Structures are given as structure tokens and as C-alpha cells.
Amino acid sequence: MSYGAASWSFTKDDQTAISQVLERFLSESQAKCALIVDRSGQLVTTAGEQPRFDAQAFASLTAADFSANDQLARLVGETDFNTLFHQGERESMLLADVARRVILVVLFDNKTTLGLVKLKLKSTVEQLTRQFASIGTRAERPAAERRPLLGNVDEEIDKLFQ
């Protein structure tokens, strides 16, 4: 099952863990920027160089691109294409599915190679998949099992007025 941003949320620890994975990937692959985009087209986070374009519009287009390619895959008898590559004269991008929840978008230039980016991408996707699976598992728990947003604030307020 695929989840959109509305059905899950990050803790600060989640954000830190995701950022560390992305920063390590960028360092090892020599890519410029990594973006995590929700399948609905919402920008989740970025790492590395900040894009010089409207990142939210880019996220929406990325999700649409990935969705269109899912349909193309089905037409040729595949269940999906889990990675997509777009090559330009100076800039390229590699998109990868992460846990059927989000898309990892990697922007890189001719200072690195597709081979190096793909080599480092595999373990990065595996790490992010584990992270997002954990986030998704928390979101699937019944509300009664989740820690309240403000903890036991109602009890603490009641204590103040006793």
C-alpha cells in the first residue's frame, strides 16, 4: 500500500536519519542535490546544494513523471520501473522509488558519472526504505497506541487546578 504525506509524519529523529543518509550518499556519489518527493507530488526534504528552481513545482512534475512511467511500464508488461534516468547536456537526474511511498530524486552534473551515482544509489534506497517503512508502520498503528502529540498535557492541566 502506498501512503501520502497526509497519512504519516516525521519526528525530529526521522528527519535527522534521512538527512544523514542523503548527505552520505551525496558525498560518496559526488552528486549535487537529493530531493525526497512524496508520490502525491509534495516535497518532503532536500539535501546538498539548494535547487535554483521552484522545488515544489519540480516535486509535482517529478511525481507526475514517475506516475506516467508506472503506466508505461504496465503497457510493456512490467509492474513498474523503479528507477528513471534523464540525461541532459550538463545536468542529469536519476529518480528511484523508495518503499512505494516516496521518490528519491538525485541531481548531478558531468563532474560525476551515472555509474557512480547508480552504484551508491542501491544502498541508499535500501536505507531509506527501512526508514520510511518504520515511519509507515508508526502511521498504521491505531490512534490509541500512538503517543499523543502533546503527551499527557490534559492530565497535567487537571493537576494544576486541583
Mean pLDDT by groups of 10 residues along the chain of 162 residues = 52 90 96 95 94 93 91 90 92 93 94 94 95 76 52 65 68
Q: Which residues contact 59 (CB under 8 A, 6 or more apart)?
A: 35, 37, 38, 41, 42, 43
CA 93 to chain centre: 15
Please tell us whether the domain made up of 8-160 is placed in CATH 3.30.450.30.
yes
pLDDT value at residue 160: 67
pLDDT value at residue 1: 34
pLDDT value at residue 41: 92
pLDDT value at residue 156: 65
Which pTM does this prediction carry? 0.79
Under the phi-then-psi rule, with left for phi > 0, alpha for psi from -120 to 50, and beta for the rest, what region is 111? Answer: alpha
pLDDT value at residue 3: 39
Dihedral sign for Cα 82, 127, 64, 54, please: negative
Distance CA 113, CA 81 (A): 21
Instruction: Find the helix or strand (DSSP H, E) in which 119 lies.
Output: helix 114-140
